[in-house]
Structure 1
């Protein structure tokens, strides 16, 4: 954001009144606001990005499902070859173990894709709305609610 909040303590016994800190934080939170036109543009860009993300997600799920199906077909075929005596037991166990490992990796990928859902869009809009309303919420709240808001907003500060 470009603004910096610097708190300097001259000695361990010097205290800063909460009201002074609150005023500084309120000023910083006020700077998070942007006009409605910019907000709407960012939301539209987020929605557009989400549409691209959704298509890429669907393509990835299709690829992983195709890979799982291909591996299942291989396992079925190699099992039939083993039953028919075209391959020996050791070869069957070696390749089937390898393909099962690949299937497990694909299943893990599939679970990750299934966990990634519409949360991307919802969280993005919620974060924008929080930025728009952070100053108002900070001014309105007291005590623990204020602390939670600041902890969230400042969670990645250095």
Structure 2
């Protein structure tokens, strides 16, 4: 407390603190701060921009499906969106682990055979039997993100958001 009091007497210095549980702070500490700023969950536009940033290295072109993803991520934090995309990026890897029928490509790599793909150059084996460096995962696709929406849920309950709003307005 003494150090905070000394800091208050220093001109041209700012102390910025952040917490996700401001109601757990001692009232003496809270009195030392002149302003409370609440940074809310990302809005629709911010979610879209964050999703674009998280997937900038991946060709995802279906704008209608992206609109559905953005609509279905209301209440997601930036961390929740990051988890969503991280899990979606793992879908092609999980697919490799589950694959038993592969298709040999022109460059002699093996990719999981698609249901509606050609029937030529098919190989039946488990991933552990594929020679090292020959298996190739497909890129993440928008349907991977859509699938992960079923399991990756928002982590901040509505009651906690109301609690933040109440704290800021005190």
Higher normalized helix content (fraction of residues): 1
Name the structure, 1 or 2, with higher relative contact order (CA <8 Å, separation 6+).
1
Higher normalized strand content (fraction of residues): 2
Structure index of larger Rg: 1
TM-score, reference length from structure 1: 0.28
TM-score, reference length from structure 2: 0.27
